[in-house]
Structure 1
């Protein structure tokens, strides 16, 4: 695995939010995942003002892929283990106003599939997509990482580390085919307070950034997380992060791309 310094990465900055989702437990998990993939996706895809809408389906067995690190929570608590993420990228800061009617339908439909939903939003340009793949390279495996800032750590220093050192070090491994980061504003329940669905999010459970990683295949993903580069990053993150939760992704389904609703999702 290459760990040589990376040249300056091309980056596209976006206005994105992530909705963390937990499916209902009074029915088989796959029933909920299928409903989200099917009927619920149609409601969300029809929302005006979206640049991209992607569903990130997480593996049911996800104890935590980040290497064990002293003073950092890397084992994902079973009662807070996420089932999926709705990754929504808007065309502008005014897009939420255009989509209010459709969003109201999404609010009503959540009870059919989810038991808890939490929206994490960022300021415009706080979502960044980096050019790490060569032309023609495809993603065969993914992981998503959620980071919790340590109490007392500077929010500005944390964001700078994610957007500079973390990105540069991960890209320098030479194995990534996709790299996306988001840094979040402070969580606010009022941003996504849907009826009949839980939104409990204690302060000590909240996240402050996410990273989506794409690899050629599962073997490349496994090698990445067991690499010296990741162990070094973990040590550098310890003063800033109290939790690093790394999830295996089973599917990343795109329903809206470049502002257009696709006739069928892309996997």
Structure 2
């Protein structure tokens, strides 16, 4: 059952990214490591323009984004005794998929579609070398602030943006206590900083095995430093990250957190936004860029998209109208 504070999706402001994201109950996070025998650019382009557009053909998702990650930035942080900011090269994911579902019924509808059940999993081995996907507990993730107001972002973020992966302290308190600490003592105070322009916190369950099964793709995590939560952080400048960590109680932080890994988000591609496929989700990014460059605006009209892609254009609306 949805939070009582949630608004109905159809009543939301389409430019209110936080409101759109907080209308959902469930989140799926997929950490991805690309195949080592294929150039990274080929893997990323395949992910966006071949694999990604298949998600846009399946109703059920409310939001689907692809985050292209750079190497861990340990230099962002001031030293905290007992906390590591280094990550082994082989353990660092190169991409992260993030999907939101308004309800469990929508997740089930998505998973029962033959494209999601068979075609997408069977395609993953073409570019993914390893995957670790986790489905968060209902109503646990939250976008606490978003001043960017671009729910269908495509390309390079306008400000420094990071995925922060939090490894719990070995032998620390319960998963529930860690999630509470990450949300209430880290994410909420950080979100109130005037130079934080976007912050979403996503508590994760302990990693047992991937929530997404992809034949031919290993599901084991590369090492034992699995994440029990992550934060998406966008700031006006990189120095803000250090200020945020300097503001936490160091001993308490070290008692809960064993490591923090900061992956700069190089590019974001939104495949589905507010329950409907984006143009990038329907056509692929190169086609959209070419249409924009030539000024062929009629190619972006609702009428043309309906003619070319039929029911896929309606996305989640297909489920709502059939209910």
TM norm structure 1 = 0.85
In structure 2, how many angstroms separate the alpha carbons of the residues matched to 1:90 and 1:51?
5
Equivalent residue, structure 2, for 1:258:
274
Asked which structure has the greater CA Rg, the reply is 2
| Root-mean-square deviation over aligned CA pairs | 2.5
Which of 185, 203, 216 is equivalent to 2:205?
Answer: 185
Equivalent residue, structure 2, for 1:37:
48
Which of 159, 164, 174 is equivalent to 1:140?
Answer: 159
In structure 2, how many angstroms separate the alpha carbons of the residues matched to 1:95 and 1:163?
26
Equivalent residue, structure 1, for 2:245:
230
SS in 1 for 2:54: helix
Q: Which runs of 4+ in 1 moved over 6 A?
A: none
Q: Which has the higher strand share?
A: 1
The answer to whether the Cα contact below 8 Å between 2:235 and 2:241 also exists between their aligned partners in 1 is no
In structure 1, how many angstroms separate the alpha carbons of the residues matched to 2:148 and 2:220?
41
In structure 1, how many angstroms separate the alpha carbons of the residues matched to 2:57 and 2:34?
22
Which of 191, 196, 221 is equivalent to 1:176?
Answer: 196
Equivalent residue, structure 1, for 2:177:
157
The answer to whether the Cα contact below 8 Å between 2:159 and 2:235 also exists between their aligned partners in 1 is yes
Equivalent residue, structure 2, for 1:88:
99
Q: CA deviation at 1:63?
A: 4.4
In structure 2, how many angstroms separate the alpha carbons of the residues matched to 1:111 and 1:193?
11
SS in 2 for 1:196: coil
In structure 1, how many angstroms separate the alpha carbons of the residues matched to 2:50 and 2:222?
31
In structure 1, how many angstroms separate the alpha carbons of the residues matched to 2:75 and 2:60?
35
Q: CA deviation at 1:164?
A: 1.2
In structure 2, how many angstroms separate the alpha carbons of the residues matched to 1:55 and 1:69?
31
In structure 2, how many angstroms separate the alpha carbons of the residues matched to 1:234 and 1:117?
34
Q: Which has the higher helix share?
A: 2
Equivalent residue, structure 2, for 1:209:
229
SS in 2 for 1:178: strand
Q: CA deviation at 1:189?
A: 1.5
In structure 2, how many angstroms separate the alpha carbons of the residues matched to 1:178 and 1:162?
16
In structure 1, how many angstroms separate the alpha carbons of the residues matched to 2:258 and 2:63?
31
Query: 5 Å matches for 1:1-150?
Result: 12=22, 14-59=25-70, 61-67=71-77, 68-100=79-111, 101-103=114-116, 104-133=118-147, 139-150=158-169
Aligned residue-pair number: 252
Say if 2:187 is the partner of 1:167. yes
SS in 1 for 2:66: strand
Q: CA deviation at 1:139?
A: 4.5
Equivalent residue, structure 1, for 2:10:
none
Q: Which runs of 5+ in 2 are unaligned?
A: 1-17, 151-156, 290-323
The answer to whether the Cα contact below 8 Å between 1:139 and 1:178 also exists between their aligned partners in 2 is no
TM norm structure 2 = 0.71
In structure 2, how many angstroms separate the alpha carbons of the residues matched to 1:172 and 1:65?
23
Q: CA deviation at 1:263?
A: 1.6
Q: Which runs of 5+ in 1 are unaligned?
A: 1-8
In structure 1, how many angstroms separate the alpha carbons of the residues matched to 2:275 and 2:41?
29
In structure 2, how many angstroms separate the alpha carbons of the residues matched to 1:76 and 1:167?
22
Q: CA deviation at 1:209?
A: 0.4
